[in-house]
Structure 1
Amino acid sequence: MRGQEQSNGAAQSTIRNALESVFRRSDDQTVIEECRRCGTTLESVSTCPSCGGSDIVEYRIR
Protein backbone atom coordinates (compact mmCIF):
# COMPACT_ATOMS: atom_id res chain seq x y z
CA MET A 1 0.00 0.00 0.00
CA ARG A 2 2.81 2.41 0.80
CA GLY A 3 4.36 1.88 -2.65
CA GLN A 4 1.11 2.89 -4.28
CA GLU A 5 1.05 6.13 -2.30
CA GLN A 6 4.59 6.98 -3.40
CA SER A 7 3.83 6.13 -7.00
CA ASN A 8 0.71 8.30 -7.01
CA GLY A 9 2.64 11.19 -5.44
CA ALA A 10 5.26 10.98 -8.17
CA ALA A 11 2.55 11.05 -10.85
CA GLN A 12 0.96 14.12 -9.26
CA SER A 13 4.36 15.80 -9.10
CA THR A 14 4.99 15.08 -12.79
CA ILE A 15 1.61 16.46 -13.77
CA ARG A 16 2.11 19.51 -11.57
CA ASN A 17 5.53 20.21 -13.13
CA ALA A 18 4.11 19.90 -16.64
CA LEU A 19 1.21 22.23 -15.90
CA GLU A 20 3.42 24.79 -14.17
CA SER A 21 5.75 24.86 -17.16
CA VAL A 22 2.79 25.62 -19.44
CA PHE A 23 1.09 28.26 -17.32
CA ARG A 24 4.26 30.05 -16.20
CA ARG A 25 5.89 30.30 -19.59
CA SER A 26 7.24 33.58 -20.89
CA ASP A 27 7.59 32.82 -24.61
CA ASP A 28 5.19 31.67 -27.32
CA GLN A 29 6.00 27.98 -27.07
CA THR A 30 6.64 25.40 -24.36
CA VAL A 31 8.39 22.11 -24.98
CA ILE A 32 7.74 19.19 -22.62
CA GLU A 33 9.92 16.10 -22.97
CA GLU A 34 8.48 12.86 -21.66
CA CYS A 35 9.47 9.20 -21.58
CA ARG A 36 6.99 7.16 -23.62
CA ARG A 37 7.65 4.08 -21.52
CA CYS A 38 6.93 5.42 -18.01
CA GLY A 39 5.69 8.99 -18.52
CA THR A 40 8.46 10.73 -16.58
CA THR A 41 8.91 14.38 -17.52
CA LEU A 42 12.52 14.93 -18.60
CA GLU A 43 14.89 17.78 -19.33
CA SER A 44 17.19 17.31 -22.34
CA VAL A 45 18.31 13.73 -21.79
CA SER A 46 18.39 10.83 -24.23
CA THR A 47 17.72 8.07 -21.69
CA CYS A 48 15.10 8.13 -18.93
CA PRO A 49 16.71 7.99 -15.48
CA SER A 50 13.57 6.32 -14.03
CA CYS A 51 13.16 3.32 -16.34
CA GLY A 52 16.14 3.40 -18.72
CA GLY A 53 13.90 3.88 -21.75
CA SER A 54 15.26 5.75 -24.76
CA ASP A 55 11.97 6.53 -26.52
CA ILE A 56 11.54 10.20 -25.62
CA VAL A 57 8.74 12.34 -27.02
CA GLU A 58 8.54 16.13 -27.22
CA TYR A 59 5.25 17.99 -26.87
CA ARG A 60 5.29 21.54 -28.21
CA ILE A 61 2.54 23.68 -26.75
CA ARG A 62 1.78 27.14 -28.11
Structure 2
Amino acid sequence: MRGQENGTTTRSTMRKALEAVLLRSDDGTVIEECRRCGTTLESTLASCPSCGCSDIVEYRIQ
Protein backbone atom coordinates (compact mmCIF):
# COMPACT_ATOMS: atom_id res chain seq x y z
CA MET A 1 0.00 0.00 0.00
CA ARG A 2 2.72 2.43 -0.87
CA GLY A 3 1.63 3.54 -4.35
CA GLN A 4 0.93 7.08 -5.48
CA GLU A 5 -2.55 8.30 -6.45
CA ASN A 6 -2.52 11.82 -7.87
CA GLY A 7 -0.12 13.25 -5.29
CA THR A 8 -1.58 11.52 -2.25
CA THR A 9 -0.54 8.14 -1.00
CA THR A 10 -2.88 5.21 -0.67
CA ARG A 11 -1.91 5.05 2.97
CA SER A 12 -3.18 8.57 3.74
CA THR A 13 -6.40 7.93 1.80
CA MET A 14 -7.02 4.76 3.78
CA ARG A 15 -6.22 6.61 7.01
CA LYS A 16 -8.80 9.30 6.19
CA ALA A 17 -11.44 6.65 5.50
CA LEU A 18 -10.70 4.82 8.76
CA GLU A 19 -10.69 8.06 10.78
CA ALA A 20 -14.06 8.98 9.27
CA VAL A 21 -15.50 5.68 10.49
CA LEU A 22 -13.76 5.37 13.85
CA LEU A 23 -13.89 9.00 14.96
CA ARG A 24 -17.42 9.74 13.80
CA SER A 25 -20.08 11.50 15.84
CA ASP A 26 -23.64 10.22 16.31
CA ASP A 27 -24.40 11.22 12.72
CA GLY A 28 -23.92 8.61 10.03
CA THR A 29 -20.74 8.54 7.95
CA VAL A 30 -20.79 8.45 4.17
CA ILE A 31 -17.85 7.03 2.24
CA GLU A 32 -17.78 7.26 -1.55
CA GLU A 33 -15.46 5.07 -3.56
CA CYS A 34 -14.80 4.10 -7.16
CA ARG A 35 -16.20 0.68 -8.08
CA ARG A 36 -13.39 0.05 -10.56
CA CYS A 37 -10.23 0.88 -8.59
CA GLY A 38 -11.46 1.41 -5.00
CA THR A 39 -10.20 4.99 -4.61
CA THR A 40 -11.97 6.89 -1.81
CA LEU A 41 -13.47 10.07 -3.27
CA GLU A 42 -14.62 13.47 -2.11
CA SER A 43 -18.40 13.81 -2.30
CA THR A 44 -18.17 16.58 -4.91
CA LEU A 45 -16.50 14.42 -7.56
CA ALA A 46 -18.58 12.89 -10.36
CA SER A 47 -15.82 10.59 -11.62
CA CYS A 48 -12.70 8.96 -10.21
CA PRO A 49 -9.55 11.07 -10.59
CA SER A 50 -7.40 7.92 -10.63
CA CYS A 51 -9.07 5.90 -13.39
CA GLY A 52 -11.79 8.17 -14.82
CA CYS A 53 -14.62 5.76 -14.02
CA SER A 54 -17.98 7.39 -13.23
CA ASP A 55 -19.38 4.33 -11.43
CA ILE A 56 -19.19 5.55 -7.82
CA VAL A 57 -20.59 3.63 -4.85
CA GLU A 58 -21.73 5.27 -1.60
CA TYR A 59 -21.50 3.50 1.74
CA ARG A 60 -23.58 4.89 4.62
CA ILE A 61 -22.39 3.80 8.04
CA GLN A 62 -24.74 4.47 10.94
Fold conserved between structures, TM > 0.5: yes
Greater strand content? 2
What are structure 1's unaligned runs of at least 5 residues? none
What are structure 2's unaligned runs of at least 5 residues? none
Partner of 1:24: 23
Larger Rg: 1
Partner of 1:13: 12
- Give the structure-1-normalised TM-score: 0.76
- Give the structure-2-normalised TM-score: 0.76
Cα distance in 2 between the residues matched to 1:34 and 1:22: 14
Question: What is the total number of aligned residue pairs between the two structures?
Answer: 58
Answer yes or no: is 1:33 the counterpart of 2:37: no
